[in-house]
Structure 1
């Protein structure tokens, strides 16, 4: 996070180098026109210069290779087109012969997909091109100029170089006639030496027949990406370049802390996705019109390594992408509870008071966080002994109530020979080098700082070893980590980051792997907690929890991220929804936004609405800047405290459903929060909707994102029945929009008919206190009188689930029978865990009215016994929801979670 305070007399110079403290300063960051590689490629038609040499085209079982010639430069490229059985094709273009251009290392992606190839069949060939098929995908490769058209099931999906914007700059010796910016470029007093000269690429990707594209996070803008050939600010392309951005603007194309070069396009009947596996700075233009969306992607260096996902549906595209970049790491259960953070909780007494405040106000929470002030002079993995003299005892005390703590660990290392981290890393040569080969010396919170070269596996292994409890003095197994500033942030560097001609492991320039620095630091830290966990529990280990600000494709395999330094503004509350939806669509669903806004002082109404929305964020944390007023949930008066308490308790009640959704993200790459089009892909009026969203496939959430709002217009996707989640009342059939009254007590939420949602209703202080609690099932019937859902349970902390020590149940209601059976999933070890918990309530929504009422005939599959219990009217929830005569409740059936059973609903 950016912090707008002085760093002491010794850092007076640093204060002059920091951005202003009042607002984002756009002029401090480069635009396309101020960036040589972007300005010389943007909207420049050079694609006609590139032609396939027909005689070079060779087709093997799953791969086509060809020579791609740049006629103007008389240079050759090697083109490789490969079909993969997991639902994608890969286009790779590199210089021929190879000059050693940078390629993203294999550890950023997962392994296995490379060998799962699909056969390519030649359909026809001529002097102008070749037509290929692989499964339902047709590939038409044009020779002069080079083009590639992709269609799926006969529907056009993607065109490469159809607007002649493709370009690939070859390595070349320096010449006196080279234009400015080719070999050297200066920005605000910083000179980039560019020793390899120009090596940019432009990808011309058109999505024919589409009106909407999504993705390429991170930025604070709409879900459906706006065209960038319009008026300011959208006359500027989207930028993918991880930067430390102070109090970012909403509704702006400017890139923020992370980069995922993934884009999805959706239209009725077809979804297609692309991923450019490139970690250099990148700009992306979006142009809409003429029945298509045209995009131009310009990267500074690397190679063209383009994956095209042709699965035809949103879930299939994300499942295929997950085969390449990996699925979401299954988080520990505690990390899905509420997190309380502030820069900074001052000392051990402050920690004790805040922890006790949650209990005295009966508000659940799971994690208390410490920011940079807990350290000894910004030396990470240390403690300020005057403020935190007994850190281990403090953590054990918090843990005695089932809770955890988190400390911040940033990538800059204070240059102090008495600091063991600095001296050990310096002796081992573990730091990033400047262009001259010496250790890079930058400025950050400690002042002069070195930066660990985490792109090196050796450095990451060393870094991981620093997190064992014998190395990290004062830490315990209850302590987890927060990686901030890992873009990397360098206060006296160009655009507050590292110089592009710095050198990394393998003599790689920073320009080539800039967007990987954050994920590699994240990886090394998470490996450290895995190492610590293996020492504590050698058999099962301990799943790491490490929050990161910077990210790239594959970060989902490591841990969660958050959207950075937002502000206490209604506009930032509103934009958090499309930001998180976009992250989920690009494979990174475990994300959240600072509840309440990091900067500024939210009023009671904004805080209330933010908590009411925030309980649905996959990562749910309140956080605030040092200079803001204290804002723990009980500091806004008793009425507000009651509303926030109710909201946070609602999060804990929903955790069984959320944890089950995370298991789906872990096995198949599906998002937790989903835009409406993802669940209702044929309804064109939903394609641009980015305020309402789905939690999984079962719940519709409608946030309130403006002050003094007492009615909201709710759009109900058609083809589904909907039930008010507070009352159980059904929405009238075929209702498309409805004006709904809202109070400060909550926001509109609806169950989707056809869903079974597991919950835990009893109010507890933390997730640990819930572990033995029974469950409630909400069974919301569709028009056929049917419903289905799942419940996933494991120990909530270890890797034992990978050996099958988990429980996964399917619930189905059909023909008036609710059944529980074992969930079986292809490619996943069979679950063998049994748990002693039961289902204490089943709430049925949508049963037809009956004058006699209903009863349930319960058959226990384990014992074969039967018994009958009468259904009762309401309440829907054990919490504060009003009774509803339209909800029928089966109370105390004591259904075993671990075994098969059947509940038949009959007339009383």
Structure 2
């Protein structure tokens, strides 16, 4: 479905007028590590500098607990170090949780912030209550270490002196460790003494830092790893590059700090709109592991090159493929999770069990979106859209939907009744003096709702009712922009760190989660407006761990150049690995004017993004697909047609993500975890397990190299031509398409009847494309529901598995029995079955249990642009998509 976007709210209640233009990114507006005191301090620490040891180890409330105390008492002139409290909790599926915080019995100046509403309640019910622990002497240690069970095959070691936590296989090989290099540091909250200056200044802004430095840093090591991935959002390669170490040109750490960055640059560790502090390691020898730090303060992460720890005096087990990292955060607590895998899909599933599964989107939102910021003022909007309700109803009658922007900032104007209500109720974030924070954004002087407060989140959600959101209809959905939050006159274009939230929480402590809470409240509002019946669609620019439960994201203000097309793929792959499976990039680039060739190539890649949208800035030339001449229009139309053909497959993958967290679009190594040639490949990607797509990222390209992994063959998606797996192919490319292949041994459901919207395709028949492997076998799945409601949660859906083996195609029901009246039915049929790579000779097909024959046509077959040999087509079998049946080729 083509979703119509308008960059204003068209007379609707939450009107946000974008009245001024923006400039491109200026590096000097943002801090680097040397200008960020906590990062500079942490980077200067030497291996082995942590003097803490674990003492008083015991079991309490099902956890292993200990005190972290200095091994040697501080000198008289030094500030006393208060003990920290460490707890280790074990959960089902091999997940370890480590918490370290100040001891509340020692009366710290305030409670340190712990991020709320990210961990899903059902995860807490999976806790395994520890009953005992064993003692073990580690070579060279003067004290025993404590060992507890994690899962079959894995255990957790708390090393006492020096303090260290690691997960190991029961055979003794390490998987993930924390503080193996003695870099742990925890700056405790203090009360300012006379003469102390804790203020920090940057670009004319002063941070009062009322509780002093409160940063945390530590090293994390991944064993048996060849590469590490994750920690979005950065415009850089999928496999994270080393930032420090011998032979490495030192660069900035990977920064996690949600910022409104105009026209960001590619190939940079600089943080942009979202932050997910989750890293995945993968290697051929050991497999996959992961580490997640639930912390919403600014974070900086170094990937440390081999040999960086040569000065360490700590005896460490040798592991040739170990990757070391340094994690640094300005505030918060240690609330960290270790995931042992051992496979990539296992680690993703383990992470999702903590932070929640991706929402199943409405079907319309998985199709093509057309968008542009182009309406410059209220008069322009009024002339174009005098009756927004009538306009929405006309679009809805054609099966189309509309999305409008709702930003967090509210204009400080007494005539604005929303501002007046929020101000009177005390619903705004406060500044360091306790007054309503006043920042500058699109409408000018603005304030920001404090979404940490549950009462304010509920208040916000109520504003999306049809009664409150004047002019809205059921076909209207929401886009949350500028929710990092963006503050044009704030430090680094965002909110001051010493601003105050509900419960006296400083903004520095929750900054990266502000947009997440705003996204959550908006999605809840759309659910409430429909009495809980319909799924929401809310697009968000800012995000955090858990955002996958509430909607889609995109990669922000990219640029119309080949480098940004290229980097969009690793950015989207990284988002998928870290839970955000419903993501995309602005096709064509938000800034600039793409040449027709670039725009066509971008549509060809973008058709495979999970979130597929064309979007542009108001200062660019108009670039709707029909404005570039008949030939280019045909090419872009064909790219969009590819997406619509594959909508049944995409929707099935979104359901898989909803169930398991496994992303719709995934790196090659997720499907081929033992193939080293895939580990750093981020030019090609998998769509599910059945499709491989290779982008074309250079101008006037005539050939492209494509590595096809695995031992099975691959079939060209357009021509059906067979290519051998495990080989790099140098292929000629035309302007008509980019290389895309169906994996042998798979079955993909498609729809070939093109309509003006996805809604109008719902009752169209299906085509099953069967790509046979060397054993003349294949299988695949199809998931169908009503495309919009939550009834699927009560079992109202169709889920089929198709299996082709020994010359017979079988349709099997794999949906559990639906309780009560929670049923979903479909009258759709299969109108065609295409077999690629079938042995020659079949003459007809027998359909059971109907006991009738279907017509067979032998290849070649025109597959939207190519002629394929070895094709068998079963025409008009007309079997019900929801029924049990078999078709035997005779």
Question: What is the TM-score with the length of structure 1 in the denominator?
Answer: 0.89
Determine whether 1:492 maps to 2:489.
yes
Residue of structure 2 in register with 1:284 after alignment: 301
Alpha-carbon spacing, 1:140–1:826, altered in 2? closer, same or farther (3 Å): farther
Paired residues of 1:728 and 1:876 also in contact (CA < 8 A): no
Q: 1:101 offset after TM fit, Å? A: 3.5
| CA distance in structure 1 between the partners assigned to 2:160 and 2:772 by the alignment | 55
Point out the more displaced range, 742-751 or 398-407.
Answer: 398-407
Aligned mate of 1:104, from 90, 110, 114:
114
| CA distance in structure 2 between the partners assigned to 1:578 and 1:69 by the alignment | 42
Q: 1:889 offset after TM fit, Å? A: 1.0
Paired residues of 1:804 and 1:829 also in contact (CA < 8 A): no
Q: 1:560 offset after TM fit, Å? A: 0.3
| CA distance in structure 1 between the partners assigned to 2:621 and 2:351 by the alignment | 43
Aligned mate of 1:84, from 73, 91, 95:
91
| CA distance in structure 2 between the partners assigned to 1:703 and 1:521 by the alignment | 34
1:98-247 equivalent positions in 2, closer than 5 A:
99=108, 100-118=110-128, 122-126=133-137, 127-135=143-151, 136-152=153-169, 154=171, 155-175=173-193, 183-229=198-244, 235-247=251-263
Point out the more displaced range, 563-572 or 39-48.
Answer: 39-48
1:244-643 equivalent positions in 2, closer than 5 A:
244-268=260-284, 269-290=286-307, 291=320, 292-344=322-374, 346=375, 373=376, 384-534=381-531, 541-643=533-635
| Structure 1 segments unaligned to the other structure (5+ residues) | 4-13, 347-372, 377-382, 535-539
Point out the more displaced range, 254-263 or 471-480.
Answer: 471-480
| CA distance in structure 2 between the partners assigned to 1:834 and 1:902 by the alignment | 20
Alpha-carbon spacing, 1:710–1:89, altered in 2? closer, same or farther (3 Å): same
Paired residues of 1:226 and 1:234 also in contact (CA < 8 A): no
Paired residues of 1:857 and 1:869 also in contact (CA < 8 A): no
Aligned mate of 2:876, from 886, 892, 899:
892
Residue of structure 1 in register with 2:748 after alignment: 757
| CA distance in structure 2 between the partners assigned to 1:391 and 1:827 by the alignment | 40
| CA distance in structure 1 between the partners assigned to 2:726 and 2:667 by the alignment | 19
1:669-708 equivalent positions in 2, closer than 5 A:
669-708=661-700
Residue of structure 2 in register with 1:6 after alignment: none
Residue of structure 1 in register with 2:10 after alignment: none
CA offsets 1:840-894 (integer angstroms, 9 cap, x no match) = 111111212x2x334322113xxx53434334324254xx232322221111100
| CA distance in structure 2 between the partners assigned to 1:157 and 1:828 by the alignment | 43
Q: 1:440 offset after TM fit, Å? A: 0.6
| CA distance in structure 1 between the partners assigned to 2:159 and 2:512 by the alignment | 33
Paired residues of 1:58 and 1:64 also in contact (CA < 8 A): yes
Paired residues of 2:136 and 2:146 also in contact (CA < 8 A): yes
- Secondary structure, counterpart of 1:763 in structure 2: coil
Point out the more displaced range, 306-315 or 226-235.
Answer: 226-235
Point out the more displaced range, 888-897 or 67-76.
Answer: 67-76
- Secondary structure, counterpart of 1:42 in structure 2: helix
Structure with bigger RCO (C-alpha 8 Å, 6+ apart)? 2
Residue of structure 2 in register with 1:358 after alignment: none
Alpha-carbon spacing, 1:758–1:623, altered in 2? closer, same or farther (3 Å): same
| CA distance in structure 1 between the partners assigned to 2:561 and 2:249 by the alignment | 20
Alpha-carbon spacing, 1:874–1:109, altered in 2? closer, same or farther (3 Å): farther
1:65-84 equivalent positions in 2, closer than 5 A:
65-71=65-71, 72=74, 73-84=80-91
CA offsets 1:154-210 (integer angstroms, 9 cap, x no match) = 4421121111111111122324676x6xx2100000000000111110021011232
| CA distance in structure 1 between the partners assigned to 2:248 and 2:496 by the alignment | 29
| CA distance in structure 1 between the partners assigned to 2:206 and 2:355 by the alignment | 35
Paired residues of 2:94 and 2:150 also in contact (CA < 8 A): no
- Secondary structure, counterpart of 1:91 in structure 2: strand
- Secondary structure, counterpart of 1:40 in structure 2: helix
Residue of structure 2 in register with 1:58 after alignment: 58
Paired residues of 1:875 and 1:881 also in contact (CA < 8 A): no
- Secondary structure, counterpart of 1:782 in structure 2: coil
Q: 1:594 offset after TM fit, Å? A: 0.2
**CA RMSD between the two structures:** 2.2
Residue of structure 2 in register with 1:366 after alignment: none
Q: 1:484 offset after TM fit, Å? A: 0.5
| CA distance in structure 2 between the partners assigned to 1:758 and 1:234 by the alignment | 48
Paired residues of 1:220 and 1:253 also in contact (CA < 8 A): yes
Determine whether 1:778 maps to 2:795.
no
Residue of structure 2 in register with 1:650 after alignment: 642
Residue of structure 2 in register with 1:857 after alignment: 846
| CA distance in structure 1 between the partners assigned to 2:795 and 2:656 by the alignment | 15
| CA distance in structure 2 between the partners assigned to 1:267 and 1:189 by the alignment | 46
Paired residues of 1:86 and 1:323 also in contact (CA < 8 A): no
Paired residues of 1:329 and 1:557 also in contact (CA < 8 A): yes
Q: 1:710 offset after TM fit, Å? A: 1.1
Alpha-carbon spacing, 1:119–1:472, altered in 2? closer, same or farther (3 Å): closer
Q: 1:69 offset after TM fit, Å? A: 1.0
CA offsets 1:56-75 (integer angstroms, 9 cap, x no match) = 11136852111111344432
Paired residues of 1:853 and 1:871 also in contact (CA < 8 A): no
- Secondary structure, counterpart of 2:509 in structure 1: helix
Paired residues of 1:217 and 1:258 also in contact (CA < 8 A): yes
Paired residues of 1:876 and 1:887 also in contact (CA < 8 A): no
Number of residue equivalences:
841
| CA distance in structure 1 between the partners assigned to 2:492 and 2:219 by the alignment | 28
Residue of structure 2 in register with 1:10 after alignment: none
Paired residues of 1:88 and 1:311 also in contact (CA < 8 A): no
Q: 1:759 offset after TM fit, Å? A: 0.5
Q: 1:458 offset after TM fit, Å? A: 0.9
| CA distance in structure 2 between the partners assigned to 1:502 and 1:304 by the alignment | 22
| CA distance in structure 1 between the partners assigned to 2:861 and 2:114 by the alignment | 55
Aligned mate of 2:727, from 730, 736, 742:
736
Residue of structure 1 in register with 2:836 after alignment: 845
- Secondary structure, counterpart of 2:855 in structure 1: strand
Alpha-carbon spacing, 1:79–1:734, altered in 2? closer, same or farther (3 Å): same
| CA distance in structure 2 between the partners assigned to 1:718 and 1:828 by the alignment | 41
CA offsets 1:415-474 (integer angstroms, 9 cap, x no match) = 111112111111111111111111111000000001111111111111111111221111
Paired residues of 1:245 and 1:257 also in contact (CA < 8 A): yes
| CA distance in structure 1 between the partners assigned to 2:506 and 2:113 by the alignment | 12
Paired residues of 1:233 and 1:253 also in contact (CA < 8 A): no
Paired residues of 1:761 and 1:776 also in contact (CA < 8 A): yes
- Secondary structure, counterpart of 1:204 in structure 2: strand
Q: 1:112 offset after TM fit, Å? A: 1.5
Alpha-carbon spacing, 1:494–1:866, altered in 2? closer, same or farther (3 Å): same
Q: 1:478 offset after TM fit, Å? A: 1.0
| CA distance in structure 2 between the partners assigned to 1:225 and 1:886 by the alignment | 43
| CA distance in structure 2 between the partners assigned to 1:531 and 1:172 by the alignment | 44
Alpha-carbon spacing, 1:60–1:137, altered in 2? closer, same or farther (3 Å): farther
Q: 1:103 offset after TM fit, Å? A: 3.5
CA offsets 1:623-667 (integer angstroms, 9 cap, x no match) = 111110000101111000000011101100100000000001111
